[in-house]
């Protein structure tokens, strides 16, 4: 009799455990359904937000680029033309600077020679026959 009673109790325990497992499975299924739905909703909102952002950026691009101007317009210089002009101007200034340095060195030599000549009245320095042009 005790075996029958133990068997009955064990069957009830097993039934309760199956019921709890079934409820847990149902609860988990519902939870996962809600969880995935919230992720799908979030993804939909994100896609919509990105579409709105694309539209706004396209409007900004149109506004910033403005109407296209004809490339054959004579008033617009290309960046290559500007770069070439700047390079030519730099080369001209470099040449002017080199010439100024050369003249400055020639004048410094002249000052040294004249100072030596004035400080020693008996000895005259021999100066090269270099012609200076100013």
Nearest CA to 71 out of 81, 63, 61 is that of 81
Q: Higher pLDDT residue, 87 or 72? A: 87
The verdict on residue 114 lying in a domain is yes
Q: State how many domains the chain has.
A: 2
- The reply to whether 61 and 99 lie within a common domain is no
Q: Which of 110, 111, 113 is nearest to 132 (CA)?
A: 110
Q: Which residues lie below 8 Å from residue 117, measured CB to CB, with a gap of 6+? A: 124, 125
Considering the domain architecture, whether residues 45 and 7 belong to the same structural domain is answered as yes
What mean pLDDT is reported for the chain? 87
The residue from 48, 65, 82 where one domain ends is: 65
Query: Model's pTM, two decimal places?
Result: 0.35
Question: Has residue 124 got a pLDDT over 90?
Answer: no
Q: Pick the more confident residue, 130 or 115.
A: 115
Q: Give the domain extent around 33.
A: 1-65
What Rg, from alpha-carbon coordinates, does the chain have?
Answer: 48
Cβ within 8 Å of residue 110, ≥6 positions away: 132
Within-domain flag for 56: yes
Same domain? 59 vs 107: no
More confident of the two residues 112 and 2: 112
Q: How confident is the model over 25-61, as pLDDT tens digits?
A: 999 999 999 999 999 999 999 999 999 999 999 999 9
**Are residues 53 and 99 located together in one domain of the fold?**
no
Task: Give the confidence band of 102 by pLDDT, cuts at 50, 70, 90.
Answer: very high
Please tell me whether residues 61 and 108 are part of one structural domain: no
Q: Is residue 122 part of a domain?
A: yes
Residue 13 maps to a domain: yes
- pLDDT of 95 higher than 60: yes
Q: Is residue 132 part of a domain?
A: no
Q: Is the pLDDT of residue 127 over 70?
A: no
Residues 102 and 61 in one domain: no
- Residue 66 binned pLDDT confidence (cut-offs 50, 70, 90): confident
Q: What are phi and psi of 87, to 5 degrees?
A: -65, -40
């Amino acid at each position: 009799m005790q075996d029958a009673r133990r068997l009955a109790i064990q069957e009830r325990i097993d039934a309760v455990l199956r019921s709890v497992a079934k409820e847990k499975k149902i609860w988990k299924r519902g939870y996962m359904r809600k969880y995935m739905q919230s992720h799908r909703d979030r993804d939909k909102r994100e896609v919509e937000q990105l579409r709105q952002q694309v539209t706004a950026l396209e409007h900004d691009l149109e506004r910033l680029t403005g109407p296209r101007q004809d490339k054959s317009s004579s008033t617009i210089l290309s960046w290559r033309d500007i770069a070439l002009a700047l390079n030519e101007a730099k080369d001209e200034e470099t040449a002017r600077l080199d010439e100024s340095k050369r003249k400055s060195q020639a004048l410094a030599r002249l000052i040294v020679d004249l100072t030596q000549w004035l400080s020693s009245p008996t000895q005259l320095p021999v100066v090269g026959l270099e012609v200076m042009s100013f």
